[in-house]
Amino acid sequence: MRFFLISLILIFSFQSWTKADDIRDFEIEGMSIGDSALNFFSKKDLISNQKLQWYDTEVFTPIAELKLENSKTYESFQIAVKTNDQKYRIESLAGFVFYKNNINECYNEIDNISESIKNLFEEVSDSGIQTVIHGYDKSGESTITGKTLTDKAGNVVVIDCYDWSDKFEWWDQLRITIATKYYANYKKKFLN
C-alpha cells in the first residue's frame, strides 16, 4: 500500500499541463534550480546545515538535512549553491523519501517516476538504470541504483535509490535531484 501511495503522490507532484523544454522548469515542492534558497529556508538554517565535510566546497557549498514544514512528499532536502553566492541560488536540489527497511520498494519507484518526468518534457535522454558503489563507503557495501534524464541543454533529473551499508546509521532513500549542466559536470569530475 505504501508503494502505491508514494507512486501516486510523486507522480501527481510532477504534473504539468504543458510540456517544458528545459529541466530548469521542473519543480520539487515549488523549488527549482535558479531559485534563491532564501525563499524557502532561513539563512540561519542554510548556514547551520552546511555539513558535508567530504565535499569539495571551493566551487559549490552543499547544504543538507533541510526540512520544509508543508512538504507533502519529501522528508528532507539537500541543495548545492555556488560557494560565496549571497543569494543562495540553487544549482542542485534533491528531495528525499526514506526507506527504513525496504530498499526494494524504492527500486520499484525508479521507472514509474522517470516515465512521469519524461512525459513533462519535449525531449530528454534516459541513461537507463545503473548501479554504482557509493564512493563514501570504502568497504564498497553501499550502492546507488538509478537513472539520469538529461535535457537538450545538459541539465539533469536524477532518480536514485541509496542502499546504505549497515555500518552507517543512515536510512536507505529515494532521491530525486534536479541540477544544472554546470553542477552535473562538476559533480562527475569530483566523484571520479
What is the model's pTM? 0.85
Whether 10 shows a pLDDT value over 90: the answer reads no
Whether 55 shows a pLDDT value over 90: the answer reads no
Q: Determine the residue type at 162.
A: Y
SS3 content of the chain, % helix, strand, coil (to 5): 25, 30, 40
Q: Are strands 90-99 and 172-179 parallel, antiparallel or unpaired?
A: antiparallel
To 10 degrees, what angle do helices 103-118 and 2-13 make? 30
CA 73-100-45 angle, to 5 degrees, is: 55
What is the pLDDT averaged over residues 131-145? 91
Domain boundaries, the chain: 2-191
Question: Hey, what's the cell of 190?
Answer: 569530483
